[in-house]
Structure 1
Amino acid sequence: MAIRDSDAAGLTDKVESTSNTPETTVAENTARTSIFSALAAPQYRRFWFGSLASVGATQLLIIGQGVLVFDLSGSEFLLGLAGAVTGIATIIVTLFGGVLADRVNKRLLLMTTSLMVAGLLFLLAMLDVTDVVKVWHVVAIASTIGVVVGFDSPARQSIFPLLIDRRNQMMSAVALNSVAWQGSRIIVPAIGGFALAYFGTHSVFFAGAVGFTLMFFIMTTVRVDEGEQGPSRSALAELWDGVRFVAANRLFAVLIPLTYANMFFSVSYMQLIPVFAGAYADQSDQALGFLFGLAGVGSIGGTFAVGRVRSYLPVGWLMILGSSGGSMAIIAFGVWTYFGPDPTGYANPIISPMFLVSAALMFISGTFNSIFLISSMTVLQLRVPSALRGRVMGIYVMTFSFIGIGGLLAGGVAQLVNASFAVAASSAVMLTIIVLVVVSQPVLRGLRTE
């Protein structure tokens, strides 16, 4: 039987009294539970397989959208803009999406959003396959998808804790969600690169529409006990409750902005990967797939490593290590792609030193960023009050929208200088932020397992 909101509240009550002290702790069993234990819960297992389809579709959208915009315009700025409009639209809506997730049936909300995204991807595919697509079409559809995702993400993040059977499966559920995302970054880019090379960008949009349609049908089979909904107040008043909780809780007030900064400065390089892949001439599509894929392989490695490492390193320092390690890898990536040897001088650019070192740095960055994200998400999910889960997690999941917005800044800098400088400088800013947080915030330094 899945955990109800009232059960989850008990866990929150046990930890909340210590949430503002330097020696903040989280339950030890979350670090020792098998990464696959949440799959023993039937409802979570169905949800997870549905998520595989929809997150794979999202990866196809990210790849196809970037390639299509760059092919149509040749502009790094417009490439960044296409990702940014999705992120901005999502951020604007997500706060109210969290309120809605606390008010309505989360399963029905996810079914609705899945069908809407499927329809929008089908529309983009039809515009592309008929050769009438323009950059403004891509930007308009991307922004509309961003609005829908603003309602989808809080519901997605607030429903899965209700689908597990035991509290000590929480870290497993968080890690498996990451496996779905990061695993798709391994497999999907390779498939997407092949599809782009042989069938065109429209093929990945059609496939994405199928993925979200599968998510819809799988969610029709999921059963979840969400408990009784409390009396509704105005949306702004309920939203303010979530904001006030985050502001009053030191750990949340430090950790959520830190994840925003990490995505904005350190992970936004993903938006510019098509620019770097373009250096490999006729093999640019394959290079794009491999670079995305190696970052995904690293993320999977980080997902499996995080539980073991937490047995030896306090979780606060684990998050610091994850964010700073990912930033340093991208600084090295920017330096290498600027000063390294030109890959076009090799018979096969894919096996050139430029590509091999770049791919290795993608792997390292993915590993460290995965460690940071899984650790931070687990801590927050264990501590958020159940009655505020949708709103607080709605504030948190805006994190992922900052990749696109950071990509807009990086794209602008790349247009003025170059892409290598843009990603290195952005990650250097993130590394500076980490140092300031370590020095000034004992609540993060003191976060540890019992």
Structure 2
Amino acid sequence: MRIAKSLSPTHPFRALKHRNYALFFFGQGISLIGTWMQRITIGWLVYRLTGSALMLGTVSFATQIPTLLLAPFAGVLADRMNKHRLLLITQILSMLQALALAILVLSEQAQIWHIIALGSCLGIINAFDMPVRQSFIIEMLESKADLGNAIALNSSLVNGGKILGPSIAGMLILLLGEGMCFLLNGLSYIAVILALLAMRLPVQPALAPQKKIWLELQEGYHYATSSPTIRSVLTLVALVSLAGMPYIALMPVFAGTILQGGPDTLGYLMFANGAGSLIASAFLTTRAGTVKIVYLLIFASSLLGLGLILFSLSTQFWLSLAVIISVGFGLMLHSVCSNTLLQTVVADNKRGRIMSFYTMANMGTTPLGNLLAGAVANDWGAGPTIFVCGICCILGSVIFAWQAKLPKDVLPH
């Protein structure tokens, strides 16, 4: 795989000139389509089996809460061990989880407790996968100058899967049922596993741990909290994840109850959400380090909050479709900017731990938000619940702007 080495500093695909990253990019691209197929199918299956918004929140909670509990330990492992080998293990385990779910559903044996149990298993796997994946990106690059572009391209890949996966899943659910979606997701992991095996990486023997794991955790926590930049970014990420992410878990309620649609309606909404995210990622791939990321971070969380408010008030399909594009744009802009900002300022020997804190803030608080939103939606309804979530996101951006005070040292040069 040979890609031109003379790409300009603003070329949208400049990170693909690095062979290992290009392998990962294309292999992961196939796998992510399957991942998003499974995510959307899980929501529809749970809602079909239970008809409960609370149960939707419960399943999301079970899938994501391990991240909050285990990500710090994963961060220590990422700083101690071979990230490539760890990532290969997590991909194989994720494949086995998807295939187990497919067997249960195709044999018509699946019950809600099966879904919760397997979701918890996937959550444990992801708790280790995400910090390792985030901190491994820089090891696939020959130049740190392309790190921001690699993160933006990675986000574009996620959103490409977010667009294709749900739309494919919506059609497959109608034609073949939920089990086929889980089966195809399991098979899609073969692509990223082969990509990882094909990489040529310099030999990096694992370092013998010099400290006990609790001391390394404490060191990472002190490093994060003593830096105004890292502390303020992680706080905003946690708040946005808590209040800004539950709309995804409640999307089946909007599609089936508020908009009076079916799995195809859910697929269209997720497609539009992914389209907005993809636009944001594409926008960021062409931006070099001169972009004032802090300003974009404030804008992104404010746009997300406003979009959620409008989405919560809409009862028209086409209006909801248009608004959800802005929600996806704001959420992804926030995610990429916060990730890039942290990876730019963090010390290399603490990258795994800081990215584990980022994973906790980004994904670990999401299950708490999903569970809370599901419980509130059961009493108030999905619309009022997401309206309040939008208000919280806007308030978070205001507080961040006041606390950050836009210091020069947090703007990448």
**Fold in common (TM above 0.5):** yes
Identity %: 27
Q: Does structure 1 residue 431 correspond to structure 2 residue 394?
A: yes
Does the Cα contact within 8 Å between 1:317 and 1:444 map onto a contact in 2?
Answer: no
Matches within 5 A, 1:269-288: 269-279=247-257, 283-288=261-266
1:52-105, CA deviations, whole angstroms, 9 ceiling, x for partnerless residues? 133223212211111111111111000111011111112211111111112221
Deviation at 1:279, TM superposition (A): 3.4
Q: In the superposition, relative to structure 1, how do residues 421 and 226 fare at CA in structure 2: closer, same or farther (>3 Å)?
A: farther
Of 295, 302, 305, the match for 1:324:
302
Letter in 1 for 2:76: V
- In the alignment, which of 241, 246, 253 is matched to residue 268 of structure 1? 246
Kindly indicate whether the alpha-carbon contact (under 8 Å) linking 1:33 and 1:169 is maintained by their aligned counterparts in 2.
no
- Which residues of 2 match residues 118-267 of structure 1 at below 5 A? 118-225=95-202, 227-232=204-209, 233-267=211-245
Structure 2 residues not aligned, in runs of 5+ = 1-7
Q: Once the two structures are superposed, what CA deviation does each residue of 1:109-143 show, in whole Å capped at 9, x if it has no partner?
A: 11111111111111111111111111111001001
With 302-311 and 435-444 compared, the bigger mean Cα shift is at 302-311
Asked whether the equivalents of residues 317 and 445 of structure 1 are also in contact (C-alpha less than 8 Å), the reply is: no
| Aligned equivalents of 1:257, 1:80: Cα separation in 2 | 23
Contact 2:11 2:286 in 1 (8 A): no
Q: Does 1:85 align with 2:62?
A: yes
**Relative to structure 2, which stretch is displaced further, 38-47 or 263-272?**
263-272
Q: Over residues 215-240 of structure 1, what are the superposed CA-to-partner deviations in whole Å (9 max), with x where a residue is unaligned?
A: 22221111223645443022212222
Partner of 1:66: 43
- The AA in structure 2 aligned to 1:237 is L
* CA gap 1:309/1:387 in 2 versus in 1, 3 angstroms: closer
User: 2:281, 2:332 within 8 Å by CA — same for their partners in 1?
Assistant: yes
Counterparts of 1:341-356 in structure 2, within 5 Å, are 354-356=316-318
1:168 to partner: Cα distance: 1.7
Contact 2:10/2:286 (<8 A) preserved: no
Is 1:371 aligned with 2:349?
no
Task: Give the aligned residue type for 1:106.
Answer: K
Query: Normalized against structure 1, the TM-score is what?
Result: 0.85
Q: Is the 8 A contact 1:118 1:209 kept in 2?
A: yes
The 2-side partners of 1:299 and 1:109 are apart by 28
TM-score in terms of structure 2 length: 0.93
Aligned to 2:4: none
Hey, what's the Cα distance between the residues in 2 that align with 1:428 and 1:282? 26
Provide the rounded CA distance (Å) in 2 between the counterparts of 1:214 and 1:182.
Answer: 18
**Post-superposition offset of 1:246:** 0.5
* Deviation (angstroms), 1:321: 0.2
Deviations 1:288-347 (A, max 9, x none): 11110111111111112235678996321111001110111011110123xxxxxxxxxx
One-letter amino acid of the structure 2 residue matched with residue 305 of structure 1: F
Following superposition of structure 1 onto structure 2, how do residues 369-448 of structure 1 map, counting pairs within 5 Å?
369-398=331-360, 399-443=362-406, 447-448=410-411
Alpha carbon RMSD of aligned pairs, Å?
Answer: 2.1
Q: How many residues get paired?
A: 404
Match of 2:5 in 1: none
Q: Secondary structure at the match of 1:224?
A: coil
Amino acid in the other structure paired with 1:151: F
